[in-house]
Amino acid sequence: MSLIKRFERNNCGRDLIVGDVHGYFGRLQVAIDEVGFDPGRDRLFSVGDLVDRGPECDLALEWLAKPWFHAVRGNHEDMAIRWPNGNMDARNYVANGGGWNVSNPPELSREFAEAFAALPIAMELETERGLVGIVHADCPFSSWEQFVEVLETEQLSGALKKAVFEAAMWSRERISGHASLDDVAGVRAVVVGHTPVQRATSLGNVHYIDTGGWFPAHRPEGRFTLLDASTLRGATVSRLWEGA
């Protein structure tokens, strides 16, 4: 298992990056159809948080098995990993949208935990305009190389591992203004989700793309943003699933 997964340049199609999905795979399918996603040439990358809150969380494994779909671990995957080990309080988990997994038979919860524990913490895409990093919440270092170096350290100390994992999957320091807004060095862009934003936005070279495609029906402002890794432009797709 590798904590960083690297992808060579996609020479035949597009690389699109989507924000948090939170169990709305039907909507995600509609969104990628809308931009003419071609599974034979294009690739879809996820910033994590595939599960909790939405109605189709159980489809996450099916999506992860698709050869063109790749995800990093979000804090909601982290909770699903903790759950079968007794490291996740049931009430807190349910409050965070984990009710579907709390009611899963233990064998199934274990299956999800294993699949999510196999996800990398970060991904790295070669694009024609430079390297693009993907992590759920934030890059915990001022340089991407440093982050990768730590993720590749075979015998990472327990304390360092915990701190790096927590920041990568849970941090809101940068977007809440409590940390440096400088570019992450050594990488063209870092793409994250985790903190919902009204529209895709960037702080330095860190791009926030969770525009709430998973928002429930009473929050119709939510959209999926599909960010092109090469142009760093996002297609914000409509809520076709609302029905005509």
The minimum distance between CB 11 and Mn ion, in angstroms, equals: 32
Q: Choose one: 34-42, 56-64, 188-196, 225-233; the region binding Mn ion (CB under 5 A).
A: 188-196
Stretch that binds Mn ion, among 48-56, 119-127, 142-150, 201-209 (CB under 5 A): 48-56
| By the rule CB under 5 A, 75 interacts with Mn ion | yes
Q: With contacts defined by CB under 5 A, how many residues of the chain interact with Mn ion?
A: 4
Which of these is catalytic: 22, 70, 76, 207? 76
Residue 49 beta carbon to Mn ion: minimum distance, rounded to whole angstroms:
4
d(CA 14, CA 37): 8
Give catalytic status of residue 207 as yes or no. Answer: no
Among 73, 194, 207, 223, binds Mn ion (CB under 5 A): 194
Q: Does 49 bind Mn ion (CB under 5 A)?
A: yes
Which residues does 183 contact at the CB level (< 8 Å), separation at least 6?
204, 205, 206
Cβ(159)–Cβ(185) under 8 Å? no
User: Per rule CB under 5 A, is residue 211 in the interface with Mn ion?
Assistant: no
User: How many CB atoms within 10 Å of residue 182?
Assistant: 12
Residues 132 and 188: their CA atoms lie apart, in Å, by 6
Question: Closest approach of Cβ 149 to Mn ion, in Å?
Answer: 25
15 scored as a contact of Mn ion (CB under 5 A): no
Residue 73 found at the interface with Mn ion (CB under 5 A): no
d(CA 233, CA 200): 9
Cα 25 from Cα 21, distance rounded (Å): 7
Task: In angstroms, give the least distance from the CB of 12 to Mn ion.
Answer: 32
User: H/E element holding 131?
Assistant: strand 130-135
Distance of CA 40 to the CA centre of its chain: 22
Give me the least distance between CB of 136 and Mn ion, in Å please.
6
The residue nearest Mn ion at its CB is 194
Nearest-angstrom CA–CA distance, 188 and 17 = 15
- Distance linking the first and last C-alpha atoms of the chain: 45
- Between 46 and 205, name the residue whose CB sits nearer to Mn ion: 46
List, by residue number, the catalytic residues: 76
Interface ranges with Mn ion (CB under 5 A) = 49, 74-75, 194
